[in-house]
Amino acid sequence: MPQLDFLGLPWDIRLMVYSTLLVSSSPIDVWPATTLCGLGSPAQSVPHSMIWDVSLGLLRCNSTIASEAAAVFYGNNTFCIHGDDRDYGLVIHWLKQIGVQNRSFLRRLEMRIWMPLKAWQQYDGSRTDGVGVNHAFPCHPHLVAPSMPCPAGAVDVIDPLVEDIIALVSKSGGRKLKLFLKLGPTDFNIVPGVIGPGQLGPGEIGTGRVRPRIIQGPEAWLSMDLPNLIEKWRAEYTLDGRLRHVNILWTTKTDKTFFLGEKDFIEHLGWQILEEQEDKWYWPTNIPTGCPGKPSNVSLVLKRKKLTTTLAADNPFGFRRLRHIQN
């Protein structure tokens, strides 16, 4: 009786083996750390400790097994890509290194969206370098600049690498992909396009003070320019979903009271609120008598609605701040 090898097994049996050995019970974190070598290696930068329950040896077998295993590994795991502050290089590196075929297998990808650095927009529309900005990129050609004279103030400096990321995951084709863009945890109270509330100052916790609704500075302000551009790039590079269906979702946390007061305005900006889940903040146990109840925040999942009009560049922070207060 001839010996039966692995590829001689029925597909449903092989799929069961792949799923048991290659699907992690938790998201797989991609860090700029350990190198994993071999055929079909998942990230070449994933520490072994982060994928201890996955048997990567199947990705280094002959080409047939490696191809089948890669489809299960990339298609049935969630990959969370971490990087240094405002450095999208790791995301680009990982997406390129796994190759076009493996990118097409991806179904769920998470990455951090960093708060953009700020440049200063002059009344003539020109931009000068801001704090930490060595090169103030001009207004993106997809964005229609305001008519002259332009409102002056702080504007977001959009990193061109973000467009490269959207292009890489979109143009590869393949399965439906959910791309989660995470704001936080340090960017708490950030809802793109909305000026968030202030924070309690040192020593104010437990004093009974109502949370002040202080207007934050431009460093804590994310305009609609980046969400609008990402939705524009998604539509372009996926041929409006015909090449690949990419669902881009934004996640953030903010103060519940603030959110309820701004919910209509958030939707007016073009956001679809898919999820809102309340949870309690950490609160000291020694709260003085008479202190109001524990405040709460809300975790949000937002989706930018499809663009139907020409994109206009968002107003600078200083100008938007005055309009928001008036409204």
* pLDDT higher than 90, residue 286: no
Under a CB-based contact definition with an 8 Å cutoff, are residues 321 and 239 in contact? no
The letter for the amino acid at 238 is T
Q: Does residue 149 have a cis peptide bond before it, meaning omega lies within 30 degrees of 0?
A: yes
* Burial class (CB within 10 angstroms; exposed 0-12, middle 13-18, buried 19+) of 84: exposed
Cα separation, 95 vs 107, whole angstroms: 13
* pLDDT number for residue 95: 92
Cα separation, 321 vs 327, whole angstroms: 10
Under a CB-based contact definition with an 8 Å cutoff, are residues 77 and 19 in contact? no
Cα separation, 213 vs 325, whole angstroms: 11
* pLDDT higher than 60, residue 150: yes
Average pLDDT value for residue range 182-199? 70
Compute the mean pLDDT over every residue in the chain, rounded to the nearest whole number.
Answer: 78
Average pLDDT value for residue range 30-58? 55
pLDDT band at 149 (very low <50, low <70, confident <90, very high): confident
* pLDDT number for residue 196: 66
Cα separation, 104 vs 326, whole angstroms: 47
Q: Return the minimum-mean-pLDDT range out of 15-19, 25-29, 179-183.
A: 25-29
How is 30-45 classified by DSSP, letter by letter?
Answer: E-S-----STT-S-SS
pTM of the shown model:
0.82
* pLDDT higher than 70, residue 70: yes
Number of H helices, E strands in the chain: 7, 10
Range of 33-47, 73-87, 89-103 with top mean pLDDT: 89-103
- Beta-carbon neighbour count of residue 110 at 10 Å? 19
pLDDT band at 208 (very low <50, low <70, confident <90, very high): very low
* pLDDT number for residue 44: 42
Cα separation, 59 vs 106, whole angstroms: 15
């290659």: which residue's tokens?
A: 22
Contacts of 217 (CB under 8 A, 6+ apart): 317
* Burial class (CB within 10 angstroms; exposed 0-12, middle 13-18, buried 19+) of 123: exposed
State the DSSP H helix or E strand holding residue 178, giving kind and residue range, or none if neither. Answer: strand 177-182
Q: Return the minimum-mean-pLDDT range out of 60-74, 120-134, 151-165.
A: 120-134
* pLDDT number for residue 33: 53
């990129």: which residue's tokens?
A: 137
* pLDDT number for residue 38: 37
Cα separation, 197 vs 191, whole angstroms: 11
Contacts of 177 (CB under 8 A, 6+ apart): 106, 107, 108, 109, 169, 244, 245, 246, 247
pLDDT band at 188 (very low <50, low <70, confident <90, very high): low
Longest dimension (CA), the chain: 86
